[in-house]
Structure 1
């Protein structure tokens, strides 16, 4: 526990090292909500973005990373219009890709059950590529991610390789993804508020807080099972949930991705 508090204090005291140098507006509410709770500390975030990147596609992988061999011709955390894309493409001298990168958040967690709670909320909010890793010294990290991405080459050696009609289509698709990304962030924040309420009650003992979290996880599992197969009998639902409860402590359930 002491190690977690030391890491959290060091992280929160550190200056923002991102290219932007500040929190994305849409991610700020989630970040502040989590950092205001004792068991959590966010380490990096991006609210989602549309990028025209010049350079190797591999050099642009990962939100918040701006590598030496990559130049951003355009970046926005909102929907975009064709004129902005075409103006940015006029600056191209190399290979350019249009990318949509969805919301991503990395959170240091005090206990495994804290990470499991956050994982449950993330998955049920649409971030189904989320996962938990446990590092050396018991460091527990929770990553909120999704596969709601887009990456399309547009030019080669400065020459546009697609028609403007196709660019129109791509912008429409990318904007739809951005709008869905915004909805997922809003849903995640609202569900996170509900999930964390029992844990911040000043009148609750540690055992009561753990019981409240357990009830929240159970409710989410039951709802998920019912949505997946509404024709299954209540008895079958109970049996499936009991079986899932036996393996809930296994990291394998949550290791859909690693950091």
Structure 2
């Protein structure tokens, strides 16, 4: 393995091994998501792989941010305020984040999710404050995304095969080659956008209020959809883990499969077992007792005599 890759992996593992109370990263949560902590540990056990960033999948409620104008006291060209995208870059704030299914109240409450997501119902006049410059509030579901640094093209191919077969159809790799022909360390992104969704449920008005644009039943429906998507997400994560570690089974004892056998050794064993069975069958046919053989001859002679006597009648 290249020394450059080993050095990178060592630095990453040192950071991940920091106690949870002290660990901090650039994500809103600030730490590795618990639903994929075991997956990350398993991947990092493989010599040629190391995870660099991850999200186990989440449902979030996000308020768009607003970029500052280029000149103090002035708006962007055409008097349009530039807004940050719903992904969080450029500002904004997270009103709610969950990496697991969100609990649903037993009965439909008038304002359960409205309160949970820090929204307010319009008071009649509030809705008139919404303009094209208003910052919108999004309820989103995003599946797992995982970035894995690999030590070679072969390793990156193993990761891609597992990801695509597990249902992460938008997975891909970068840094597959270099201009000077040096050995590269491809980065593989494991991801799928096919079952993500983004729905606007409110806006931020000029009075600093987060106003709901949809009713409680509509928000509950979106949460129920997100909970179903979590089930799909967990299933695909499980398949990806199995498919990936299957390719590194000798290096991944956490799979619990200790009966792995080298393909060549298996061929030799099967061939020897087949020869042994053939020898046993041959021995069974040849090991006929003399008494049985004699009795068979006597029965044959008696049958011949009876045949001859009956022909004279």
TM-score by length of 2: 0.58
CA distance, structure 1, for counterparts of residue 244 and residue 113 of structure 2 = 35
Aligned counterpart, 2:192:
146
Higher-Rg member (1/2)? 2
1:40 aligns with 2:92: no
Structure 1 counterpart of 2:222, from 170, 175, 178: 170
Equivalent residues of 1:154, 1:162 under 8 A apart: yes
Aligned counterpart, 2:245:
193
CA distance, structure 2, for counterparts of residue 39 and residue 21 of structure 1 = 26
Aligned counterpart, 2:35:
26
Partner secondary structure for residue 69 of structure 1: coil
CA RMSD of the aligned region, Å? 2.6
Q: CA deviation at 1:170?
A: 1.2
> Aligned in 2, Cα 1:89/1:10: closer, same or farther, shift over 3 Å?
closer
Q: CA deviation at 1:175?
A: 1.1
Structure 2 counterpart of 1:85, from 113, 138, 155: 113
Equivalent residues of 1:105, 1:145 under 8 A apart: yes
Q: Deviations over 1:3-41 (max 9, x none)?
A: 111211222223541332321111111111111111001
> Aligned in 2, Cα 1:91/1:163: closer, same or farther, shift over 3 Å?
closer
Aligned counterpart, 1:75:
97
CA distance, structure 2, for counterparts of residue 181 and residue 163 of structure 1 = 27
Query: Any stretches of 5+ residues in structure 1 without a counterpart?
Result: 202-210, 213-259
Moved over 6 A (4+): none
Q: Deviations over 1:97-128 (max 9, x none)?
A: 00111101001000101000110001111111
Aligned counterpart, 1:113:
154
CA distance, structure 2, for counterparts of residue 198 and residue 41 of structure 1 = 17
Q: CA deviation at 1:200?
A: 6.0
Aligned counterpart, 2:25:
17
Q: Select between 175-184 and 75-84 the one with higher mean Cα deviation.
A: 75-84
Structure 1 counterpart of 2:234, from 157, 182, 194: 182
Q: How many residues get paired?
A: 199
Aligned counterpart, 2:71:
none
